[in-house]
Amino acid sequence: MPRTEQQFAAIREKSKAKFLRTALELFANYGYHSTSISQIAKSAGVAKGSLYHYFESKEQLLEAVFMQGLNELDGLFEEIDMEAAPEDKLTQLLDLSISSLQKEKHFWQLYFALITQMKLPEVLRKRLQPVMNEMFTFFNILFQELGAEEPESEAKLLAATFDGICLHYLMMGEEYPLEKVKEKLLGMYIGKR
């Protein structure tokens, strides 16, 4: 019996997801510039030309991988109970962020590799900016609720501190005392720990 359009669509989506996962892993492990379309196709177990049915270029593939990760990052804010006390919101944010860091290690490796480049591709910069703006707005409001004298500065300090925590975790892996550092960071801001 011939396949239906829905079956073909499901197969296409499954193939596209496999390409995205494979590209993410290779970009994270070897870098975007050091990874070729041929390597991605070989790791995905398909012919090189198959990739071009889904993505016109390696840059478009990178964009799709990056956007998928940013969309998940966007979703973190939706999981926070905005009616909770500010201390609880900060705890939820750090818990969700650390969980994402542990589960999506390849995305975070790629994310930090890309944002620390001198020239982030414009299409990625445009997509990243609203996410960063939302994060800083959330942090700023959070520190206002916590009674900080300079909420904007505190927001930037928290973001920079958490970036450093992420980078150390990515470099050291499971040796890094992520939970202890998180508790220490919470203690600095809410004094409960």
pLDDT band with cut points at 50, 70 and 90 for residue 125: confident
User: What confidence score (pLDDT) does residue 177 get?
Assistant: 96
Rounded CA gap, 183 and 94, in Å? 9
The CATH number of the domain covering residues in 1-55: 1.10.10.60
CA angle 109, 113, 116 (to 5 degrees): 135
Rounded CA gap, 20 and 37, in Å? 12
The CATH number of the domain covering residues in 57-190: 1.10.357.10
Average of per-residue pLDDT values in the chain: 89
- The arithmetic mean of pLDDT across residues 79-104, rounded, is 93
Indicate yes or no: pTM above 0.85.
no
Residue 58, judged by CB atoms within 10 A of its CB (0-12, 13-18, 19+), counts as middle
User: What confidence score (pLDDT) does residue 121 get?
Assistant: 80
Provide the residue ranges of all domains of the chain, joining segments of one domain with +: 1-55, 57-190
- The arithmetic mean of pLDDT across residues 35-58, rounded, is 90
- The arithmetic mean of pLDDT across residues 118-145, rounded, is 87
| Helical axes 86-103 vs 122-145, angle rounded to 10° | 150
pLDDT band with cut points at 50, 70 and 90 for residue 70: confident
pLDDT band with cut points at 50, 70 and 90 for residue 137: very high
